[in-house]
Structure 1
Amino acid sequence: MTERLEFELHNPMQAKLALKGQLFPFLANVLQGGGRWVLTVTRRKRTQPQNRRYWGQGVLAQVAAQAVVNGKQFSAETWHEMFKRMFIGVDELPNGELIGKSSTKLTTAEFSEFCTKVEAYASTELGVTFYDLEGR
């Protein structure tokens, strides 16, 4: 008997079929063995394609290659730190310094919104022109 059941749901019909065909039979089986079970429904965290589009040769690489501030260029990691601070928020370190909140816990929708803000800022404020992001 498996201890875990996971679905990725995209629409109401798929959810109905998964609940009826897989979840109900699974619960009927495991609940006969006693014990307590927890059912959690959450949004999916950012996807691998989103991550590749943002990192890879996508958004951050193109910002790092094109953006010049005060005569300097910065690494993708440096830009990522700045964008996290600007668009996600900050956490305070024990010494009082601030660091950008992690983007790894963002849902697909939140990460999409974050990327949209980064791209808009990079285009309008840094003059970055993005190429072939959809193929990333």
Structure 2
Amino acid sequence: MTRQKFEQRKLLLRGQEQVDRAIALLRNVPLDAERPLELLVREEVKARKLDQNARMWAGPLKDIAEQCWSDERQYSAEIWHEYFKQQFLPDEYDPELCKDEKYRKWDFDPGGQPVLIGSSTDLTVKGFAQYMEQIHAFGGQMGVEFHESPPRG
């Protein structure tokens, strides 16, 4: 039997009602021995929040851009953000830090040079909190006085 393309479905199991729906779905799913389906059960992975992102730009990135000097010059918040992504994004997929198992930090251009493709949008709430802690630690080492306290993980 050849089935049509199966659209991915995500169910959050919060109670017995959702468990019953999941079981009903599994009982009625069209099977195909040539194209088996994969079932994955794990704790919900929460993507970083927009307010975390807004706080990053209005807080530590702004403070670092205004107060930090490197190589006798100051850099914009955007340049610091790119630098911090290179330094602090996870090198590999980690289910606690990255929201998608397809996460990659680097790719390579046609000439073989590494290109940063990872983004802070790829991080979970926990991953983004860790990223922010690393930015705060960097700023602290550079003598930056932050206008808000570091986030808690």
TM-score with structure 2 setting the length: 0.62
Structure 1 unaligned blocks of 5 or more:
8-14
CA distance in 1, matches of 2:113, 2:79: 16
CA distance in 1, matches of 2:63, 2:11: 36
- Residue 77 in structure 1 maps to residue 78 in structure 2: yes
1:91-130 pair list within 5 angstroms: 91-94=106-109, 95-100=111-116, 101-124=118-141, 126-130=142-146
* Shift in Å, 1:26: 2.5
CA contact 2:11–2:18 (8 Å) conserved in 1: no
1:14-33 pair list within 5 angstroms: 18-20=14-16, 22-28=17-23, 30-31=25-26, 33=28
Q: Which has the higher helix share?
A: 1
CA separation of 1:5 and 1:59: change in aligned 2, threshold 3 A: same
* Shift in Å, 1:117: 0.9
> Which piece of structure 1 moves more, 108-117 or 27-36?
27-36
Match of residue 51 from structure 1:
53
CA distance in 2, matches of 1:6, 1:27: 7
Larger RCO, structure (CA 8 Å, separation 6 or more): 1
CA contact 1:60–1:76 (8 Å) conserved in 2: yes
CA contact 1:59–1:133 (8 Å) conserved in 2: no
CA distance in 1, matches of 2:130, 2:50: 16
CA distance in 2, matches of 1:6, 1:63: 41
CA contact 2:45–2:124 (8 Å) conserved in 1: yes
CA distance in 1, matches of 2:84, 2:135: 7
TM-score with structure 1 setting the length: 0.69
Aligned residue pairs total 121
Question: How much is the aligned-residue C-alpha RMSD, in angstroms?
Answer: 2.9
Structure 2 unaligned blocks of 5 or more:
1-7, 32-36, 92-104
